[in-house]
Amino acid sequence: MALIVQKFGGTSVGNPDKIKNVAKRVLKNHKEGNQMVVVLSAMSGETNRLTDFGTEMQEIPDPREMDVLLSSGEQVTIALFAMAIKSLGKDCISLLGDQVKINTDNSHTKARIQSIDSDHIVKELDGGKVVVVAGFQGVADNGDITTLGRGGSDTTAVALAAALQADACEIFTDVEGVYTTDPNICSKARKIDRISYDEMLELASLGAKVLDIRSVTFAKKYNVPIHVRSTFTETEGTWVVKEDNKMEGRIVSGVTYNRNEARITISGVPDQPGIAAKIFTPISDADIIVDMIIQNQDTGNGLTDLTFTVPRSDYQRTLQLLQSVAEKIGSKGGVQGSDSIAKISIVGVGMRNHSGIAATMFSILSKEGINISMISTSEIKVSCIVEEKYTELAIRALHDAFELDKESVPEEENVI
């Protein structure tokens, strides 16, 4: 008998009929002899509807009350799901975040799980019930409802799986798993069978939307195997697991992209200690998150250029902020930028043992005539900023060159 945690997102439980279908699927697994814990999101559209109500009441809705408001969405789906299971003849109980006890800190709208009391769930499972838990929500020490932020239901599921020492955590979604790249852009994109936590973390933080990044962090910490799969088929999806031997054959696991950033350059600034702080402190004070930063070598005139990226939605605000900074610090070149850029990244644990992967990436892009304006690397990824119009071309070229469409690639053949 296995204990399985299954999470279904908003599109999977978008209306009563879909909830019934999910109930049938869960029951099938239950009848196969498994103990089932189900985590549900709010019906698709519901969180937006409630958020709109909130912003109608208060320009910046109070975070504590926003959590009271939004957590009602999952409350509705778990009650309906429990009814659906019961109508199919099995016993089921719904539990809210505070009924499970999913304890969080009190950072409303972006709370972090601190502990989970698994006793209540275990008792109900041992009583033969299917247990359905509201995703996305928890309770602070003072009894306030908290929510975990967008994508929080993934984290609920993984955290529950960890607390219950579940055999697997299955995340059901509207795609069949994690792909080597976006199938909408590259028709050769292939579903990945197994991927390591670290690779998944990079992919998630670089733009792949299939899993919430915090849930992967949690899964890695507690070594919870995650199975990402489709609500609408029975096909095996992608297992996100601890790095193992089977993964070594691959150098690059996936190609991803992000078109939500903008690039800004402040040029001709004095190359002296403290200059970076003078530029980035006001940006940080304005709650603008800087991703990549590059400082050019001083070429002898005592001046340097700084280039960095920010979320595209903060582009105009950052430009305005920097105009006055540029004057203050005596920039000779002023501020320029572009909001039509894309970040193209390759990710793979195999890079750890292979040198020259970054150079290979540059030469592939170069062959296609794509100019790289910024580069950033980590142990298992290389990211390049290019003009946005080259996004599709870059992805297809990299996907082809690293032969990601092929099931298993012997190491020797990976050198291009």
Which helix (H) or strand (E) segment is 412 a member of?
none
Q: Which is nearer to its own copies, 64 or 312 (CB)?
A: 64
Pairing verdict, β 92-95 and 130-134: parallel
Neighbours of 413 (CB within 10 A): 9
| 106 lines the binding site for its own copies (CB under 8 A) | no
Give the three-class secondary structure for 79: helix
Q: Are 192 and 238 in contact (CB under 8 A)?
A: yes
| 133 lines the binding site for its own copies (CB under 8 A) | no
**Tokens encoding 65:** 């009350």
Stretch that binds its own copies, among 94-102, 123-131, 247-255, 401-409 (CB under 8 A): 94-102
Q: Which is nearer to its own copies, 64 or 354 (CB)?
A: 64
Which helix (H) or strand (E) segment is 127 a member of?
none
Stretch that binds its own copies, among 92-100, 107-115, 170-178, 315-323 (CB under 8 A): 92-100
| 75 lines the binding site for its own copies (CB under 8 A) | yes
Name 149's Cβ contacts closer than 8 Å, sequence gap at least 6: 109, 110, 111
Give the three-class secondary structure for 242: coil
| 93 lines the binding site for its own copies (CB under 8 A) | yes
Q: Which is nearer to its own copies, 93 or 404 (CB)?
A: 93
Q: Which is nearer to its own copies, 140 or 163 (CB)?
A: 140
| 84 lines the binding site for its own copies (CB under 8 A) | yes
Angle value at C-alpha 169, between 409 and 20, nearest 5 degrees = 115
Binder to its own copies among 2, 57, 359, 415 (CB under 8 A)? 57
User: 54 exposed, middle or buried (CB, 10 Å; 0-12, 13-18, 19+)?
Assistant: middle
Site for its own copies in 137-196 (CB under 8 A): 143-145
| 294 lines the binding site for its own copies (CB under 8 A) | no
Binder to its own copies among 14, 21, 44, 64 (CB under 8 A)? 64
| 50 lines the binding site for its own copies (CB under 8 A) | yes
Angle value at C-alpha 239, between 4 and 167, nearest 5 degrees = 25
- Give the Cα separation of 243 and 213 in Å (integer): 17
| 360 lines the binding site for its own copies (CB under 8 A) | no
Binder to its own copies among 58, 165, 316, 340 (CB under 8 A)? 58
| 109 lines the binding site for its own copies (CB under 8 A) | no
Q: Which is nearer to its own copies, 98 or 314 (CB)?
A: 98
Binder to its own copies among 6, 18, 98, 399 (CB under 8 A)? 98
Q: How far is CA 84 from CA 30, 80, 196, 296, 331, in A?
A: 14, 6, 36, 61, 65
| 16 lines the binding site for its own copies (CB under 8 A) | yes
Give the three-class secondary structure for 360: helix
- Give the Cα separation of 57 and 194 in Å (integer): 46
Stretch that binds its own copies, among 62-70, 200-208, 231-239, 255-263 (CB under 8 A): 62-70
Q: Which is nearer to its own copies, 67 or 271 (CB)?
A: 67
Binder to its own copies among 3, 21, 51, 65 (CB under 8 A)? 65
| Helix-, strand-, coil-residue percentages of the chain, each rounded to 5 | 40, 25, 35
| 99 lines the binding site for its own copies (CB under 8 A) | yes
Binder to its own copies among 3, 14, 29, 62 (CB under 8 A)? 62
Q: Least CB distance from residue 30 to its own copies, whole Å?
A: 17
Nearest Cα to Cα of residue 264 among 344, 334, 369:
334
Nearest Cα to Cα of residue 248 among 398, 379, 354, 177:
354
Binder to its own copies among 86, 90, 112, 317 (CB under 8 A)? 86
- Give the Cα separation of 144 and 121 in Å (integer): 21
Q: Least CB distance from residue 64 to its own copies, whole Å?
A: 8
Q: Least CB distance from residue 300 to its own copies, whole Å?
A: 57
What is the size of the binding site for its own copies (CB under 8 A)? 38
**Contacts to its own copies by CB under 8 A:** 16, 19-20, 50, 53-54, 56-59, 61-62, 64-66, 68-69, 71-73, 75-76, 78-80, 82-84, 86-87, 93-94, 96, 98-99, 143-145
